[in-house]
């Protein structure tokens, strides 16, 4: 697989640009601020529907424009596929759109897997030294690169999480009354107003239980996929790290789960529970933190709270996440599992 042609319109600093590419190494040379990174970013966007530099799409659209267009011609097994992505920021333009070989896709994520890339960039420091959200995003993007169907699971989990958090915030007063009532042994009040309060509380708690079941169902799928991916990466990690470092090491990655302590410890040690076990444990963990969640108005358990790919290295001298070099770790995690059928994007700054 390789990217044969890249075309952008109103993307970042470019009103338009056409970049023919050939198999092998292509080097973009120029002064700072000329837009080299923007072209690499566009190629990465074709593969992931996201930017490695920003979380939202709005900065990708050139100032003064309502939309940006990124096109790429991908060669795979001797066949050409044209990917067209329309990035919209204006209300009149609507949502982002995608096409494959000029045929509209019902959802942009249907193009995922057509082009696969591995990106090495200065921002990779965030993988080792940044927030857990950086590692979760990296792990999930690698999941989608290997099997595009996981994009749908990620999207569904995000929707469930937003709905559950909205309930915890909007129904907070009612839910808090419900929590207090559960701790009362008896009450002598029986007025109509109290009955209405009890009905509202019961309804809110029932709705929360429904969202708990949805979150556990989809969350168990995403969590299981992450753990299986890390299990698959483990045999390669130490060898890959040693290959590009000057010392023998015991490089590992550990998954820090938000589940209850016993299960979390087992997962950190490398266990991969079955999906049904994860589903049941998510429900139990949600029940254990219910009071705290209602008080704070946010979901405290689930894949969105995990540290998805926490790396650490044991060697002499000892190296930990605070001092580990991100390049070897990302090389091990990304290159080994996508390079055989993907495009490598390398960014350097002189």
Residue 30 lies in a domain: yes
**Co-location of 186 and 276 in the same domain:** yes
Sorted by sequence, the CB contacts under 8 Å of residue 176 that are 6+ apart come out as: 294, 295
**Co-location of 212 and 258 in the same domain:** yes
Alpha helices in the chain (DSSP H): 36-48, 125-129, 132-146, 150-170, 172-182, 192-244, 261-268, 275-288, 290-296, 326-330, 336-338
**Co-location of 177 and 230 in the same domain:** yes
Does this model's pTM top 0.85? My answer is: no
The residue with greater pLDDT, 280 or 147, is 280
Q: Quick one: tokens of 245?
A: 């470092």
**Co-location of 172 and 60 in the same domain:** no
pLDDT digits (tens, 9 = 90+) for 50-91: 998 888 999 999 999 999 999 999 999 889 999 999 999 876
Kindly tell me if the per-residue pLDDT of 150 is higher than 70. yes
Number of other CB atoms surrounding residue 329 within 10 Å: 24
What residues make up the domain containing 307? 138-346
**Co-location of 167 and 307 in the same domain:** yes
The band of 171, judged by pLDDT with boundaries at 50, 70 and 90, is: confident
Give the DSSP per-residue string, 146-157.
H-TTHHHHHHHH
**Co-location of 282 and 245 in the same domain:** yes
The band of 240, judged by pLDDT with boundaries at 50, 70 and 90, is: confident
**Co-location of 245 and 111 in the same domain:** no
Kindly tell me if the per-residue pLDDT of 8 is higher than 80. yes
Determine the Cα–Cα distance for residues 2 and 77; give it in Å rounded to an integer. Answer: 10
Q: Are 153 and 303 in contact (CB under 8 A)?
A: no
The band of 201, judged by pLDDT with boundaries at 50, 70 and 90, is: confident
Q: List the CATH number of the domain containing 175.
A: 1.20.1050.90
Q: List the CATH number of the domain containing 103.
A: 3.40.50.300
Residue 36 lies in a domain: yes
Q: Helix and strand tally (H, E) in the chain?
A: 11, 10
Residue 218 lies in a domain: yes
The residue with greater pLDDT, 102 or 345, is 102
Query: Pseudo-torsion of CA 72, 73, 74, 79, nearest 10°?
Result: 160
Determine the Cα–Cα distance for residues 334 and 142; give it in Å rounded to an integer. Answer: 7
How high is the pLDDT of residue 178? 62
Residue 97 lies in a domain: yes
Q: What are phi and psi of 156, to 5 degrees?
A: -65, -40
**Co-location of 238 and 155 in the same domain:** yes
The band of 189, judged by pLDDT with boundaries at 50, 70 and 90, is: very low
**Co-location of 232 and 287 in the same domain:** yes
Q: Quick one: tokens of 173?
A: 């007063």
Q: What percent of the chain has pLDDT over 90?
A: 53
The residue with greater pLDDT, 322 or 22, is 22
Residue 121 lies in a domain: no
User: Looking at residues 306-329, what average pLDDT do you find?
Assistant: 54
User: Looking at residues 338-342, what average pLDDT do you find?
Assistant: 51
Closest to 348 in 3D by CA, of 72, 30, 116? 30
pLDDT digits (tens, 9 = 90+) for 122-144: 777 777 778 888 889 888 988 98
Question: Which has the minimum average pLDDT: 292-296, 334-338, 339-343?
Answer: 334-338
**Co-location of 13 and 60 in the same domain:** yes
How high is the pLDDT of residue 6? 97
Residue 129 lies in a domain: no
pLDDT digits (tens, 9 = 90+) for 9-59: 999 999 999 999 999 899 999 898 899 999 999 999 999 999 988 889 999
Q: How many domains does the chain have?
A: 2
**Co-location of 106 and 176 in the same domain:** no
């Amino acid at each position: 697989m390789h990217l044969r042609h890249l075309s952008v319109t109103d993307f970042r600093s470019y009103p338009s640009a056409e970049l023919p590419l050939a198999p092998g190494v292509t080097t973009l040379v120029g002064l700072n601020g000329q837009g080299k990174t923007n072209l690499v970013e566009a190629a990465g966007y074709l593969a992931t529907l996201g930017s490695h530099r920003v979380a939202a799409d709005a900065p990708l659209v050139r100032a003064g424009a309502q939309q940006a267009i990124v096109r790429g011609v991908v060669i795979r097994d001797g066949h050409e596929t044209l990917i067209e992505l329309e990035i919209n920021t204006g209300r009149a333009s609507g949502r982002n759109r995608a096409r494959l070989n000029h045929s509209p896709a019902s959802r942009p994520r249907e193009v995922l897997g057509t082009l696969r890339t591995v990106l090495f960039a200065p921002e990779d420091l965030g993988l080792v030294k940044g927030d857990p959200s950086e590692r979760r995003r990296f792990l999930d993007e690698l999941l989608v690169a290997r099997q595009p169907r996981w994009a749908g699971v990620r999207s569904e989990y995000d929707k469930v999480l937003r709905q559950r958090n909205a309930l915890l915030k909007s129904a907070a007063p009612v839910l808090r009354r419900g929590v207090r009532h559960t701790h009362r042994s008896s009450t002598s009040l029986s007025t109509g107003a109290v009955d209405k309060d009890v009905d509202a509380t019961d309804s809110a708690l029932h709705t929360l239980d429904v969202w708990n079941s949805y979150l556990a169902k989809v969350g168990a799928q995403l969590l299981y996929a992450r753990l299986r991916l890390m299990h698959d990466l483990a045999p390669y990690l130490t060898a890959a790290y040693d290959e590009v470092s000057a010392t023998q090491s015991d490089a590992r990655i550990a998954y820090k789960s938000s589940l209850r302590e016993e299960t979390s410890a087992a997962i950190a040690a490398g266990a991969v529970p079955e999906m049904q076990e994860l589903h049941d444990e998510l429900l139990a963990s949600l029940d254990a933190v219910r009071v705290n969640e209602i008080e704070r108005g946010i979901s405290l358990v689930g894949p969105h709270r995990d540290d998805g790919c926490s790396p650490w290295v044991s060697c002499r001298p000892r190296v930990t996440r605070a001092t580990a070099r991100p390049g070897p770790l990302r090389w091990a995690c990304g290159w080994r599992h996508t390079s055989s059928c993907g495009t490598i994007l390398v960014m350097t700054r002189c």
